[in-house]
Each structure stands twice: as structure tokens, then as C-alpha cells.
């Protein structure tokens, strides 16, 4: 089964590798691209060791200024972000149990009761709602924009793998089955009239690849 990898990564990227481990063939044709706008050094310089820095992707981990980011406690969404943060010398104190930004902030609200919380984010993401006694800092550090892609890819794949609402919107409503990384992306699919063919039980690329493989075994959809 040939799977369209819509996220921005290389042929040895995490989703491509996860798909190959499941015996699936990745077809890489990204529909989005990201550009760092600011490393947030000035904002991070305001944080002390008891404050929090929230990083919701390995890309965000790599985009922020390293020296000031080593000062506060760091909260991340999953194991890949944790590994990336620790590789840069960051002090990871919280890993989301739900594997997404929503659950991460839910858990952080019970732990961060005073001080500052800094959430460097994409231009496509809104800052979280404030909470009492917390100064929330939320600079935009990178933009995520649609990129031109080879639309003939649709003739060469069996399934579209989408890992974000922005990827859903960039691809649009096409006549192919979609595999979603989780509820937020599934909601974006439903908003354009598409019922996902598969959804990852956990919000991770490995889980997405496993869900595609499992669904392929149960109800194969493959071009001749």
C-alpha cells in the first residue's frame, strides 16, 4: 500500500520510517512548509528557573534560542519532543500523557500556579486561554504555509496521511481515503465533509503508521 506523506520531512523522516516498518510504501509529497521567524531569545530571557517553557513539536524545540531555553522548566507533548529538548540541554519537567497540546496545557494548569508560562508557537496556532496568577507569553516563532505540490501524487497513492488540520486544508477534499493522526485532525476532515478511513489511537506518527497498516488488513484499499 502506498501512503502519501503530506508532512514536511525527508525520505528518512519519522513518518516515512514508521510506514516502512509496517510494510507500507511512503510517497513523500509535502503540502506545507515552515520558516523560522524569531528564536524568541528576548522573551525567553525573561524566564526564571521556576517558570515554564512549552514546546509542542521537535520543530519548535529546534527553533528557540538554546541558552535562555535551558533556564526554565520545559513541558513537551511527547517522546520525540522530549528527546530533541534533552539533546539541546533543556530541563524537561513535564511530558504530556495525551500526546497533544490540549492535554499538555490541561496538565500544566494544575502544576503552574504562579509565575510565567512561555509558549512559542506557529503562526497558525492561537495562544491558550490565560489562567489565574500566570503571565502567559506566546510569541510567534515560525510560520506554516501551504506549498505548491505535485497534484499527480493523487494518482500514485492509495491513502493520504494527514498529521494536522493545516495539512487537511492544504490537501482539500480529494477522492482518496484519509488517515488522521488524531481527533483535532479528524475534526478538520469532517469539516470538509470527509470521514477518516483510519485514525491513530495515540497522537504519534508511529501510531498513525500502525493504524494505516491495521486498517489496510481489515479493509484494503489499494490501486491496481
Cα-based angle 13, 186, 223 (whole degrees, multiple of 5)? 65
Q: Could you tell me the residue ranges of all domains in the chain?
A: 2-31+147-218, 35-142
pLDDT band for position 221 (50/70/90)?
low
pLDDT digit string, tens, across residues 27-52 = 999 999 999 999 999 999 999 999 99
Strand-pairing partners, residue 28, are 5
Tell me what pLDDT residue 185 has. Answer: 94
- Residue 79: is its pLDDT beyond 90? no
Q: Provide the CATH topology of domain 2-31+147-218.
A: Rossmann fold (3.40.50)
Structurally, at CATH architecture level, domain 35-142 sits in 3-Layer(aba) Sandwich (3.40)
pLDDT band for position 224 (50/70/90)?
very low
Do domains 2-31+147-218 and 35-142 share one topology? The answer is yes
* pLDDT (average), residues 116-125: 94
- Residue 213: is its pLDDT beyond 90? yes
Instruction: Report d(CA 6, CA 181) in Å as an integer.
Output: 12
pLDDT digit string, tens, across residues 143-177 = 999 999 999 999 999 999 999 999 999 999 999 99
User: What is the arrangement of strands in the sheet containing 91-95, beginning at the earlier edge strand?
Assistant: 91-95, 73-76, 52-55, 115-118, 134-137
Q: Average pLDDT over the chain, rounded to whole?
A: 94
Question: CA torsion, points 201, 202, 208, 211, in degrees to nearest 10?
Answer: -20
The position carrying cell 512561555 is: 118
8 Å CB contact between 76 and 64: no
Cα-based angle 16, 11, 89 (whole degrees, multiple of 5)? 85
Cα dihedral 108, 97, 7, 44 sign = positive
* pLDDT (average), residues 82-109: 92
Percent of the chain predicted with pLDDT > 90: 86
pLDDT band for position 124 (50/70/90)?
confident
- Residue 108: is its pLDDT beyond 90? yes
- Residue 75: is its pLDDT beyond 90? yes
- Residue 12: is its pLDDT beyond 60? yes
Amino acid at each position: 500500500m502506498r501512503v502519501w506523506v503530506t508532512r514536511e520531512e525527508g525520505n528518512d523522516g519519522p513518518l516515512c520510517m514508521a510506514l516502512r516498518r509496517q510494510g507500507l510504501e511512503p510517497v513523500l509529497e509535502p503540502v506545507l512548509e515552515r520558516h523560522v521567524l524569531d528564536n524568541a531569545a528576548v522573551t525567553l530571557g525573561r524566564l526564571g528557573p521556576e517558570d515554564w517553557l512549552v514546546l509542542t513539536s521537535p520543530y519548535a524545540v529546534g527553533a528557540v534560542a538554546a541558552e535562555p531555553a535551558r533556564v526554565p522548566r520545559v513541558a513537551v507533548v511527547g517522546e520525540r519532543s522530549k528527546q530533541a529538548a534533552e539533546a539541546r540541554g533543556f530541563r524537561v519537567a513535564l511530558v504530556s500523557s495525551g500526546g497533544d497540546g490540549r492535554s499538555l496545557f490541561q496538565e500544566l494548569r494544575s502544576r503552574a500556579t504562579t509565575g510565567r508560562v512561555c509558549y512559542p508557537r506557529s503562526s497558525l496556532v492561537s495562544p491558550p486561554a490565560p489562567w489565574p496568577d500566570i503571565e502567559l507569553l506566546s510569541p510567534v516563532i515560525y510560520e506554516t504555509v501551504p506549498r505548491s505540490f505535485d497534484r499527480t501524487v493523487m494518482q500514485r497513492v492509495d491513502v493520504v496521511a494527514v498529521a494536522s488540520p493545516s495539512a487537511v486544508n492544504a490537501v482539500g477534499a480529494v477522492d482518496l481515503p484519509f488517515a488522521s493522526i488524531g481527533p483535532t485532525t479528524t475534526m478538520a476532515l469532517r469539516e470538509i465533509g470527509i470521514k477518516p478511513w483510519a485514525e491513530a489511537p495515540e497522537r504519534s506518527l508511529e501510531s498513525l503508521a500502525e493504524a494505516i497498516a491495521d486498517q489496510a488488513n481489515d479493509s484494503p484499499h489499494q490501486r491496481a
